[in-house]
Amino acid sequence: MAGPLVDQFQRRITYLRLSVIDRCDLRCTYCMPERQTFLPKAEVLTLEEMHRLALGFIARGVTKLRLTGGEPLVRRDMIELVRTLGRKLGDGLDELTLTTNGTHLAQHAEDLYAAGVRRVNVSLDTLDRAKFAHITRRDSLPAVLEGIAAAKAAGLTVKLNTVALKGGNADEIPDLIAWAHGQGHEITLIEVMPLGEVEEDRIDHYLPLSVVRDALAARWTLQDEDHRSGGPARYVRVAETGGRLGFITPLTNNFCEGCNRVRVTATGQLFACLGGREQVDLRAALRSADPDAALSAGLDEAMRIKPERHHFEIDRRGAAPALSRHMSMTGG
C-alpha cells in the first residue's frame, strides 16, 4: 500500500489547497484583468472527480484540505462537494476549510457549518465601499460584510486576509486590524505576488510588509508568537487589541524548508510549489482506465519533483510576472 507523501527533502505533505473553479464574481486588480478568459466547463473537474481526487490525497496522509478558487462559492455544486468531503472529517481528514471573497457567504454559512467546516478565510482589503469597488472592480462590500457577519453567527471562525497595496489600502491597514480584532477575527496581511498578467504594473502596488510592520510597531506593541501554520505566515499578538495578526511574505523564501502543502487547480493540475512550474496532470490520471492507481502514481511523481524552494522575483519594474498563471488558477 502506498504510504504518506514525503518529498525528496524529507518534507511530509499533509495539506492540499484545491481550487474548485477558476471563475470569480470579483476582478481584484492585483489578481486578474477585467476581461479574464475562463475555462470551458469540460476542462474543470466534475464533482465526482474532485471528490475522488481529495480521497486520493487523504488516503496518502493529507489531513487538511482548503477549497479555494477563483471564488469557490460561485461553483454551483459547491455545497454538495463540501458535504461529501465533510464526511471524511474524523476519518482521515482533520480540517476542511475554504478561502472565499465572502460575496456569497451569507447564503451558505449555515450549510458550511453543518457540513463540518469550522473556519473560513475571507479576503477583505478595505472597509471603504468606494475603495473596495476600485480594488475589486465590483461594488460588493455590503455583501461581503454581511457574509462575514453571517459566518460568525453560524459559528464559523473567520480569518481575514488582506493584501497590502501601496496607494490602495496602505493608510487603512491599522483601522482594518483594529476592526477585525474588535469583531474577534484574526487578520493576516499578504504581500502582492507576481502571478499572471494584470492590467496594472504590480510593482506600483508592491508594499513590503517590513514597512507595514514598522509602522504598526510604532503604534502598537507587537508580541511575536510561536504559532506556525506550516506556511509562509508569521504571527504576532497585538497587545492593545488582544488579537492575532499574521504576515505572509511569500517573496522571501525562508519558509520553504517547512513546506507541507501542494496545490491543485480546478482542471486537476497539481503544482508542487506556488512559485514554481513543476506540475503533474492529475486530471489525466482521474480520466484514465484505473484512476485511483494513476492518481497515486501522480502523487508519487509530485513528491519527486517538488522543488526545494520557490523563485519569485518582483524587483524589476515592468518585468513580466515571475509566473504567467494567475493566483485565481492556483487559489493562493
Residues that bind ligand SAM (CB under 6 A): 24, 30-31, 68-69, 71, 99-101, 123, 161, 163, 190, 192-193, 195, 327-328, 331-332
Contacts of ligand SF4 in 28-47 (CB under 6 A): 28, 31-32
- Among the listed residues 7, 71, 191, 301, the single contact to ligand SF4 using CB under 6 A: 71
Q: Which is nearer to ligand SAM, 196 or 298 (CB)?
A: 196
Q: Which is nearer to ligand SAM, 97 or 296 (CB)?
A: 97
Least Å distance, CB 144 to ligand SAM, is 10
**Strands ordered across the beta sheet of 64-68:** 222-224, 233-238, 244-248, 186-191, 157-164, 119-123, 95-100, 64-68, 15-19, 261-264, 269-271, 279-281
Round to the nearest angstrom and report the end-to-end CA distance of the chain.
Answer: 32
The reply on whether position 101 binds ligand SF4 by CB under 6 A is yes
The reply on whether position 273 binds ligand SF4 by CB under 6 A is no
The reply on whether position 126 binds ligand SF4 by CB under 6 A is no
| Window of 8-16, 26-34, 188-196, 239-247 that interacts with ligand SF4 by CB under 6 A | 26-34
The reply on whether position 24 binds ligand SF4 by CB under 6 A is yes
202: three-class secondary structure by DSSP: helix
- Sequence-distant (6+) residues with CB within 8 A of 248 are 188, 189, 190, 191, 209, 231, 232, 233
The reply on whether position 328 binds ligand SF4 by CB under 6 A is yes
Q: Report d(CA 328, CA 332) in Å as an integer.
A: 7
In which element (H, E) is residue 136 found? helix 129-136
Summarize as ranges the residues that interact with ligand SF4 (CB under 6 A).
24, 26-28, 31-32, 69-71, 101, 123, 328
